[in-house]
Each structure stands twice: as structure tokens, then as C-alpha cells.
């Protein structure tokens, strides 16, 4: 804990901060994953339709998506380091509401509180990851995001082995994890507060690009469409994969939850890969591969056997997950000096589009079938063709990284002298 609070005096200390931010991201997203993985439990306890399940996701994710850009825009000018433990406390209260919910409306309230907590957590913690990156922004975002992906992946396991045998109220046990997160985030808050504002501005400075406002606007529009493609498709897996496996292949709920874990674990692994690869070969190439590259596999998925379904879903998760780090850092470089706002916008889009996708797909499933939903969603990665309209930034990325590394070295040297 004291190591987190100390001012870093050598490059290795930066990785302590990144590791702590990633661990907090894991705890934050684990709480959210418990909510989503508990859908079959809520469906049975409250006799919910697929449309009601989609509405649960919509309330949770829209709460986060609408607030995150506003939180990021505000904290770009007025950083709030100790807002982080407050956000985790809000998520913890949401989990308690879910654990003791007696009516569907209480589930909606619990989901909304989880969304509010997430909206506070992501923009500011993403800024901490960038500040601690040493110029390798893709790598830092991957380390930060893999914690979140890992947290999402273990939710189904916890539901299968802890909550299902003991009932809905056992969700309250996981408030202990939230309390641990509050302690860690308080430590990160001290580290962040001790950073000199001038040094932060120097470390986050970008080499001005020559793109016009029209080109920047067009590039952001393409990035938003790519994010839509990714998260609409992921919504079909994270919200309905368990139901698909149970209905299509007659799997038990426990086995289906395990298969969902394999998919989410693959998403976590893909997140680790995307950032560092983007630092080396360019963000645009990673986006090409991760979005459009999964199209052949998504087209096959609705028509194959159970073993092939599991293998394909794991491969899809591995490849498609590498996109987000590249998209986020690409957008941050388009709008230098707006790290919080950009992070909040794209994390918010991820939540909002995922929630909208879950609601739309839930209604579609009620009127048709889960199988039909997967056939429709299989075409979504074709939106990856829009990547061709993104301007090439490979040269600028290298220059920015060189400048950032120099600034980081100078900053560390000055701290050592002091």
C-alpha cells in the first residue's frame, strides 16, 4: 500500500501503479460481471422475459455511458483522485441492492448503481494508466484493461460455484472484494494527488497532428461505428450465450457458465495482445485485424457443433478484444489533452452500445429465437471495412512515443535529484 502512495523514482515503480490500477479494474468489472452472469438466476427468481433482461442491461450500461464522458470532461480540468474509492463504494451498494432485491424494480436500481460506480471509475483510472505509461500508451491501456476483462471472465465461475448453490443473497459476500478495492483506490488517489500538475501536463503532451477538424470528426465517427460493431456482437455473447448453449445444445446452466468463462478469458488474453502490438505495428492495423478478421468465424458460429462453437467463440473473443486498446489510444491521439473525456466517451460507448445491443437483441429473441439472433449478429464484424477510412497515424505514433519516453526519463531524473 505504501509503495502505491510513494512518488515513483524509477521506471519499475510505474508498473506498480499500472498493476494496482489493473487489479482495481478487475475488482470493479468483477462486480459488474456478477450482475450479468446472474441473469439466469434473476430470470428464474423473478420470471423475467428476455426483453426484461435486455432492459436490465440497458439501464446498467446507459447509466455508465451517459455519465462517463461528463465525468471525464470534468476531471480533465479538475482531477478528483479520491472520487475513485467513492465510485467503488457506489458499485458495492449496487451489489447489496441486487443481493437482497425482492422486486424487478430493485434489480433496476442495483444495475443503475453499478453503472454510476463504473462511470466514476473508468475515466480517472484510465488517466492514471496513461500517466504511468512511460510513453507506451497501448501497453499501459492493455495492462489496465486486462484487469477488467479478467474480472468479467471470473463472474460466471463465481456464479456457478458460489452463488447458484447458495442463492441470490450470497452476492453480498463479494462486497468484501469491493472493500479491498476501496483501500487500493485510496492508495492510488494519494499517488495521483502527489503528481505535480505541470509534470502531468508534460507527460500527457502530444505532438500536434496536421489533421483538419473534418478529418478528426470523420475518424471519430468511424471509431464509434467500429465500437458499435464490437460491442453489439459482444452483447450477443455476454448476455445470451448461456441461454443459447442451454437451448441449442441442451447444456446445463453450470456447464454453459463455464463455457462463457472460456470466452471471457479469451477476451482478457486478447486485450493483453492488442495494446503492445498497436505500439509496434500501428493502431490501424490492429483494428483491421481485430474487427474484420473475425468475420469468417462469426459467420460460421451459428451452424457448427458444440465443440466447434466453443473453439470458435474462444478465437472470436481472443481476436476481437484486441481492438479496444487500439481504438482508445487512437482516439486519445486524435484529441490531445482530452484523455479523461475521450476515455469516458469510449468506455461509455462500450457500455451504452452493449446495453442497447442487449435490449434490442433481447426483444428480437422474444419475437424470433436465440438462434436467429446469432445468425443476424454474425454479419456485424463486416462494419470493420470502415477502418479503411481512418487516416494513417503510424509515423505520428512513433514520434509521440519517443517524445513521451524522453519526458518520462527527464521527470524520473528530476524526482531522483529531489
What digits encode the pLDDT tens for the residues 222-271? 998 998 888 888 888 877 888 899 988 999 888 898 898 889 888 878 87
| Domain span including residue 237 | 2-417
Cα–Cα distance measured from residue 355 to residue 363, given in angstroms and rounded to the nearest whole number: 13
**Res. 130 pLDDT band, cuts 50 70 90:** confident
Helix intervals (H) in 38-163: 39-46, 50-77, 83-99, 104-131, 137-158
DSSP letter at 81?
A: T
Helix intervals (H) in 321-393: 323-334, 339-367, 370-377
CB atoms within 10 A of CB 220: 18
The pLDDT of residue 396? 46
Which of these, 15, 136, 18, 134, lies nearest to 398 by C-alpha position? 136
**Region 368-383 average pLDDT:** 91
Cα–Cα distance measured from residue 170 to residue 190, given in angstroms and rounded to the nearest whole number: 33
> Which residue is listed with cell 508534460?
202
CATH number of the domain bearing residue 249: 1.20.1250.20
SS3 293: coil
**Region 125-139 average pLDDT:** 79
Question: Which phi-psi region, left, alpha or beta, contains residue 78 (left: φ > 0; alpha: ψ -120 to 50)?
Answer: beta
Whether the Cβ atoms of residue 147 and residue 23 lie closer than 8 Å to each other = yes
**How many domains in the chain?**
1
DSSP letter at 160?
A: I
pTM above threshold 0.85: no
CA Rg value for the chain? 21
Cα–Cα distance measured from residue 52 to residue 198, given in angstroms and rounded to the nearest whole number: 49
Task: Please provide the size of the chain in residues.
Answer: 418
Cα–Cα distance measured from residue 94 to residue 85, given in angstroms and rounded to the nearest whole number: 14
Would you say residue 160 has pLDDT above 50? yes
Which carries the bigger pLDDT value, residue 12 or residue 312? 312
Distant-in-sequence, close-in-space partners of 223: CB < 8 Å, separation ≥ 6: 327, 330, 331, 346, 390
SS3 369: coil
The pLDDT of residue 401? 47
Whether the Cβ atoms of residue 116 and residue 71 lie closer than 8 Å to each other = no
Amino acid at each position: 500500500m505504501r509503495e502505491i502512495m510513494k512518488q515513483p523514482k524509477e521506471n519499475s515503480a510505474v508498473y506498480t501503479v499500472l498493476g494496482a490500477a489493473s487489479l482495481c479494474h478487475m475488482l470493479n468489472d468483477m462486480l459488474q460481471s456478477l450482475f450479468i452472469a446472474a441473469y439466469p438466476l434473476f430470470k428464474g427468481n423473478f420470471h423475467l422475459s428476455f426483453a426484461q433482461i435486455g432492459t436490465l442491461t440497458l439501464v446498467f450500461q446507459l447509466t455508465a455511458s451517459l455519465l462517463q464522458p461528463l465525468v471525464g470532461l470534468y476531471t480533465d480540468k479538475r482531477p478528483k483522485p479520491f472520487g475513485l474509492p467513492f465510485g467503488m463504494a457506489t458499485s458495492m451498494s449496487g451489489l447489496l441492492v441486487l443481493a437482497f432485491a425482492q422486486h424487478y424494480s430493485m434489480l433496476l436500481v442495483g444495475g443503475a448503481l453499478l453503472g454510476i460506480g463504473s462511470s466514476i471509475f473508468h475515466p480517472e483510472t484510465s488517466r492514471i494508466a496513461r500517466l504511468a505509461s512511460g510513453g507506451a500508451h497501448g501497453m499501459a491501456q492493455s495492462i489496465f484493461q486486462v484487469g477488467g476483462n479478467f474480472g468479467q471472465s471470473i463472474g460466471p465461475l463465481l456464479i456457478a460455484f458460489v452463488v447458484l448453490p447458495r442463492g441470490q443473497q450470497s452476492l453480498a459476500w463479494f462486497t468484501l472484494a469491493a472493500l479491498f478495492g476501496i483501500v487500493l483506490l485510496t492508495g492510488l488517489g494519494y499517488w495521483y494527488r502527489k503528481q505535480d500538475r505541470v509534470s502531468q501536463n508534460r507527460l500527457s503532451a502530444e505532438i500536434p497532428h496536421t489533421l483538419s477538424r473534418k478529418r478528426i470528426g470523420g475518424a471519430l465517427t468511424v471509431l464509434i461505428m467500429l465500437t458499435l460493431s464490437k460491442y453489439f456482437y459482444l452483447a450477443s455473447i455476454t448476455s445470451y450465450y448461456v441461454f443459447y448453449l442451454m437451448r441449442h445444445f441442451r447444456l446445463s446452466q453450470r456447464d454453459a457458465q463455464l463455457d462463457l468463462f472460456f470466452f471471457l478469458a479469451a477476451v482478457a488474453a486478447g486485450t493483453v495482445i492488442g495494446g503492445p502490438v498497436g505500439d509496434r505495428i500501428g493502431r490501424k492495423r490492429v483494428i483491421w485485424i481485430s474487427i474484420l478478421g473475425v468475420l469468417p468465424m462469426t459467420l460460421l458460429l451459428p451452424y457448427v457443433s458444440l465443440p466447434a462453437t466453443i473453439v470458435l467463440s474462444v478465437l472470436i473473443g481472443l481476436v476481437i478484444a484486441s481492438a479496444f486498446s487500439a481504438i482508445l489510444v487512437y482516439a486519445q491521439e486524435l484529441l490531445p489533452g482530452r484523455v479523461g473525456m475521450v476515455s469516458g466517451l469510449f468506455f461509455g460507448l462500450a457500455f451504452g452500445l452493449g446495453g442497447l445491443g442487449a435490449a434490442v437483441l433481447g426483444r428480437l429473441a422474444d419475437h424470433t429465437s436465440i438462434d436467429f439472433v446469432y445468425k443476424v449478429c454474425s454479419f456485424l464484424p463486416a462494419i470493420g471495412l470502415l477502418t479503411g477510412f481512418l487516416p494513417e497515424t503510424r509515423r505520428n505514433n512513433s514520434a509521440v512515443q519517443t517524445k513521451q519516453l524522453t519526458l518520462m526519463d527527464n521527470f524520473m531524473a528530476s524526482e531522483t535529484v529531489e
